[in-house]
A and B are shown apart, each in its own frame.
Chain A
């Protein structure tokens, strides 16, 4: 029954995806990655890395809208769980995201392209952080479409992190720096942590407890 329902949901969920926001993030990312080719310039490796990181961030910003659901309140009490719907949305976007990233990487000239595995780890971490942040916003607030707020927060946090994080953390190191390798261990940790947060925010609670109960003070009482 559940599998049949999920299969039949594919069409409506596909139509309900925030295609504009996802498309805008993807397009902006591709434009960034394609800049050297568009401008017929030969970027240095540092610029190529910066452009790919910018592309990954642009796509992640688009992803913050993935879980936006204007019909959230109407569908709040249906037997098909919110987690299933969220997972379906993610599954529908995942192949597109993989294709998009492949295209973005290939747009960077091979001779200046950063190590693909490492930069892919960074992009994956950014994407999962975006989804975890959206899932957290949905879990802790009553907003149906928190994407915009989450995108602004993610953008501000990324900028602040790039400017303020100690160099030895290596999150924004270049391949020639000694912090590159430890930096990617940190990216792996960020990816794992975000995945845990995302998974924790998926299920709808039966009782309000601990962190989530105290955070619910952020939810304003309803008017009635």
Chain B
């Protein structure tokens, strides 16, 4: 698959905290999930790739544009859509006015064409019916969709989404998954999330970060395969397991190094994620 976004040696410190430590990765068309615990550096990486935050060192390119100069950064921003973790709005704007404002900022200067594009993206996120409503009167899920519409306006080739499903109810989350899956058709989407189900359902690639370092880069199947032979069920919680919990069926599901004769079960993506982070979560939080 053709690489559309590539980063090499991205590093960034906040005081004594190393938020990114020589991060290198390659993204291609489709949805790439970015997983990691709190403080892993996911949001920082997304901000850097979205050119919202400069790195201390390292390079990256987005769709062949290099943001290391002011002009190059403008070029990157012309092909970019960014949904931050905590989107804010001008509350007195309507959904249409706000997305139109962002469209002007994205240099869509032909008024008629721009309005057509704004209507298109609002329809894409199912907000056509409320496009004339003030944002302060919209629900949290609708506001999140306004922010997604703002990211999608102008049909960017690279979409950066920072935990877009946080705080949404299950129905809204499902709707968002549909939107993201659609957005991933024909463009590169980098999706930061805590939800391994999001990754399992949406992503063709996955990156796991912890402590500012990329710990895994591959397909969801490859991440799941990391846990092959390392998940077993038992009647009691296995004290030797790295993690274990009682399932709805009343048996314990254990992840780690199984004892001899253990009853192995099919691993999930979450198991692969836990195995990948084994020992690293403590390292990150220490």
Chain A positions near chain B (C-beta within 8 angstroms)? 1-2, 4-5, 8-9, 12, 15-16, 69-81, 85, 144, 203-208, 213, 216-217, 219-224
Contact = CB atoms under 8 A, between A and B. Distances in A.
A36 to B, nearest CB: 37
B92 A74 contact: no
B84 A73 contact: yes
Given A207-B55, A222-B44, 10 more contacts: A1-B109, A5-B104, A12-B101, A71-B89, A77-B51, A216-B14, A217-B15, A223-B39, A224-B39, A224-B42
Q: Is the interface of A mostly helix, strand, loop or mixed?
A: loop
A78 B54 contact: no
Contacts, number: 138
Interface string B91-132: 111000110111011110101000000000000000000000
Contacts of A224: 36, 38-44, 46, 85, 162-163, 192
16 contacts: A5-B107, A8-B109, A9-B101, A71-B87, A76-B47, A76-B82, A77-B52, A77-B77, A77-B160, A80-B105, A85-B105, A205-B54, A206-B54, A217-B16, A221-B17, A221-B39
B70 interface: yes
A72 to B, nearest CB: 6
Given A12-B104, A222-B43, A5 B109 contact: yes
A85 B90 CA distance: 15
Nearest to B73: A206
Contacts of B82: 74, 76-77
Nearest to B52: A76
A9 B91 contact: no
A206 B51 CA distance: 9
A205 B53 CA distance: 8
Contacts of B100: 12
B285 interface: no
Interface residues of B, number: 61
A8 B43 CA distance: 32
Contact of A223 (B14, B17, B85, B89): B85
B42 A79 contact: no
Nearest to B91: A70
Contacts of B160: 77
Contacts of A73: 52, 84-88
B77 A78 contact: yes
A71 B92 CA distance: 12
B81 to A, nearest CB: 8
A21 to B, nearest CB: 14
B107 A79 contact: yes
B30 to A, nearest CB: 21
Nearest to B83: A74
A220 B90 contact: no
Contacts of B12: 208
A78 B12 CA distance: 22
A148 B88 CA distance: 17
A75 to B, nearest CB: 6
Residue picked from B36, B102, B151, most chain A C-beta under 10 Å: B102
A45 to B, nearest CB: 44
